[in-house]
Structure 1
Amino acid sequence: MASNFPKGFVWGAATAAHQVEGGNCNSDAWALERAVPSIFREPSGDAIDHWNRFSDDVALLAALGLKAYRFSVEWARVEPEEGVFSQAAIDHYQRCINACLERGVQPIPTFHHFTSPIWVARDGGLVNAKFPERFARFCDKAARELSGFQHACTINELNLPLFMREKLVSAINNELKTAAETALGSSLDSFFLFSPREAILKQGLKAHALARDAIKAHHPSCQVGATLSIQDEQAEPGAEAFRDERNAQFYDECLDALKNDDFIGVQTYTRLIARKDGTATGAEGKPRTMIGWEDYPQALANTCRYVFVKTGAPIIVTENGWAGYDDSRRSEFIREALAGVHEAIQEGVDIRGYLYWTLFDNYEWMSGYEPKFGLIGVDRETQLRRIKPSALVLGSIAQNNSLVAPVVESVKATKMSPDQESSPVGIG
């Protein structure tokens, strides 16, 4: 019993619409991908065709033993033109929710995961004072039409531009910037990841609050929160002030604004070490994932502790994962991260769920398809799904609600049917 998680602990995995659905052609990201030259390594294209294969894909998740699926409702599909809503898109997302419920999976919709309709971007994106009301109108429409969910996320990683924008801007030369803004038809600041600090803290937080209230107006019992990207920053002796300043700048204002929500979504992947010169990097000489982050699963428990001390709010781990080809290390990473989560819960930190990022190898934004976070691999030429051993490891932990879980072995690849109404066990 000492290794058990609390009763009702939410176990699942996460994706985002633009990264898996394919064909999100009315979005700002789609336009940016097709700039020449582009800040994106490659276009998303058909992605992994999750738009057509949702039912089979969630059946795979359920067959693994996972009980929750966080996915996003794509604003660019639901409202392709200002004030014009697509009933077909709304009906699709209701079928997605139904597919989850039919398989005993809790659907957890996210209403904004980095992408906006191109018309929103062309009018300034988050920088425009109209953004909060526009986003809330979309959430109101979607929440009124959709039913069957008990948890929802408003905006994914609302704080991410606070520390990522400067890095992204510094990596883009004038040619790339000009091409991006030509394709977008607006300043690059109108794409969420490039949103200026003042836009996040003013329009972003207001958009979250209005969206939360809109969702709860139609679903009063639904637990609604935003998710934050929070990395575990530690400090070498003499650098504590730099660490504390960055934590305050990147996290604390958002945490203060969100502390009375139903939950805070914590998304953690790595740690940084604050240096006496004011910089922060991964620990020297330690293993890295394929995208350069320090491989440090203990970071997750530390950030959960930080959030709980600052807010006292319930926490759901809405993203945490490992990128690389060594799936045995992914399995170990999951176990080590969850051991830390379990320890934090034992200490009194109110952590209510764990959603692994990501269910599938998918489109990782500017990095394209190279990073491999998925529990399930995908051959994008054939759309063949291949369940990795790490998926079975997490599924076994979830089924037992315990770190003590039977040893699992790999399974063969599965070719999925694109039919939404196909086999309930996901074997096409």
Structure 2
Amino acid sequence: MLLQFPDHFFWGTSTAATQIETAGDHNWKGVRARDGYLLDRTTDHEKRRDEDLEYISRLGNVYRCSVDWARLQDAPYKAFDEAVIDEYQCFFSNLNERGVKVMFVIHHFTNPLWFEQAGGWLVEENVSAFVDYARQCISLFGPYVFSWNTFNEPNVYAMNAFMLGNFPPYRRSWVEANKVLTHMGIAHEVVYELIKTNYPKIPVGISFNTAWFDAANLLGRLPAAFTDWWFHRKAAKPFSKKLDYWGLSYYAYVPFNPRPITELDHPGKLSKMGIPHDNMWGYRPEGLARILQHFHKKYKKPIVITENGICTDDPHRRIQSIRDYLKICHQAIKDGIDLRGYIHWSTWDNFEWHLGPTYRFGLVHVNVFTKERTMTAAGEFYEQVVQNNSVDA
């Protein structure tokens, strides 16, 4: 059955600077990932921008991306590096000339070393340094931007960097995680007002991660419910007052028994439980329907799917996941949810944070050694979805 989307609906793909550019002096540089690779060269995007422009423009009319704060600003309150400014402005201008709109993510998990060494997001006084960085981004890149995300998945950042110890600075404190969210929320509100002062008609939101936390048995009920409350409600509160839309990402179904069960931490266990999964998490697309209903009813704001995908080496599984998720999105629109667009993660394979480059999400395959790009069957499928504004589900 052919599912047609509204004429105003937009399509795109997403990346993050840290995952695709050679590392600047930031807190992820040199991190050794689970698969053994060091985060340094990643995908050579800064050397292949013209080639990557071709892929981006084939895969939607919106490109969601970030810049490397550390490359732009090597000390607090310092003017941005002119050469790096020119590099990004040229890239954004070329995107716009091809009919691709930029959704700009100001913070995507990564901090300059100077910011991290000053205490990072644990120290409220550092908020002003981030606001200065954001102010310069707004001034220099604002003319190319059609939509802003102040933060990418602050709940994931706080959880992994300050609660679970997976991301730098590898802390394990529930109290610190909540303090970080509070400070990010303060920064978000200030930056929201800065953008609105300069570009009052441009929408400003965040990208907020979501998942389906479920009880696999009686013992899993309490931890699943608590995780759901913290991840979707408490972590959202600091950002909820000043938003034009919610950007939502969805990837994971996580059962608890009482501990969370993932393919990453318990290989083979999800299969034994009869739960479909990718290389990282349980796979239940219907969880996205639950999430869309929750955010629609609670906040009554427009919604954009700012990230969605599947971790797999199999492009045919990726095609099926696109079909599955777009069916959910289409039904949500029919049900009256104000869903404005869908942005797939990711444009091409990148360095998947603490896991490494062999954990693949890309519509375009990247050779880990040569960095050569190849459009996959999933990329060709998504290109047709974009061109036709519809999916055969």
Is the shorter-chain TM-score for this pair beyond 0.5, marking a shared fold?
yes
Cα deviation for residue 396 of structure 1 reads: 1.1
Cα deviation for residue 69 of structure 1 reads: 0.6
Aligned to 2:267: none
**In the alignment, structure 1 residue 216 sits paired with structure 2 residue 183:** no
3-state secondary structure, aligned to 1:270: strand
3-state secondary structure, aligned to 2:366: strand
- C-alpha change, 1:381 and 1:281, in structure 2 (3 Å) is closer
Contact 2:104 2:149 in 1 (8 A): yes
Contact 1:90 1:142 in 2 (8 A): no
Cα deviation for residue 162 of structure 1 reads: 4.6
3-state secondary structure, aligned to 1:28: coil
Contact 1:41 1:368 in 2 (8 A): yes
How high is the TM-score relative to the length of structure 2? 0.89
5+ residue gaps, structure 2, are 263-269
Map 1:83-122 to 2 at 5 A: 83-84=77-78, 85-122=80-117
Amino acid at match of 1:271: Y
Contact 2:182 2:238 in 1 (8 A): no
Map 1:2-401 to 2 at 5 A: 3-22=3-22, 24-30=23-29, 33=31, 41-64=36-59, 66-84=60-78, 85-146=80-141, 147-165=143-161, 168-169=164-165, 188-189=170-171, 196-235=176-215, 242-259=223-240, 260-275=242-257, 278-281=258-261, 284-291=273-280, 293-401=281-389
- The whole-number CA distance in structure 1 between the counterparts of 2:148 and 2:88 is 14
- The whole-number CA distance in structure 2 between the counterparts of 1:43 and 1:349 is 42
Contact 1:12 1:68 in 2 (8 A): yes
Q: Percent identity?
A: 28
How high is the TM-score relative to the length of structure 1? 0.82
Cα deviation for residue 367 of structure 1 reads: 0.9
Amino acid at match of 2:27: D
- C-alpha change, 1:379 and 1:161, in structure 2 (3 Å) is closer
Cα deviation for residue 309 of structure 1 reads: 2.0
**1:26-73 deviation per Cα after TM superposition (whole angstroms, max 9, x unaligned):** 11111x527xxx888421222111112223212222134x11111102
- The whole-number CA distance in structure 2 between the counterparts of 1:107 and 1:215 is 15
**1:57-109 deviation per Cα after TM superposition (whole angstroms, max 9, x unaligned):** 12222134x11111102211111122222122222221121111111111111
- Name the stretch that deviates more: 227-236 or 147-156: 227-236
Amino acid at match of 1:214: L
Map 1:396-411 to 2 at 5 A: 396-404=384-392
- C-alpha change, 1:195 and 1:153, in structure 2 (3 Å) is farther
Contact 2:28 2:39 in 1 (8 A): no
3-state secondary structure, aligned to 1:403: strand
Amino acid at match of 2:144: G
- C-alpha change, 1:2 and 1:395, in structure 2 (3 Å) is closer
- The whole-number CA distance in structure 2 between the counterparts of 1:194 and 1:246 is 12
Amino acid at match of 2:93: N
- The whole-number CA distance in structure 1 between the counterparts of 2:117 and 2:386 is 43
Cα deviation for residue 366 of structure 1 reads: 1.1
Alignment: residue pair count: 380
- Name the stretch that deviates more: 254-263 or 391-400: 254-263
- The whole-number CA distance in structure 1 between the counterparts of 2:84 and 2:331 is 42
- Name the stretch that deviates more: 251-260 or 302-311: 251-260
**1:342-361 deviation per Cα after TM superposition (whole angstroms, max 9, x unaligned):** 11111112211111111111
- The whole-number CA distance in structure 2 between the counterparts of 1:328 and 1:70 is 24
Contact 2:385 2:391 in 1 (8 A): yes
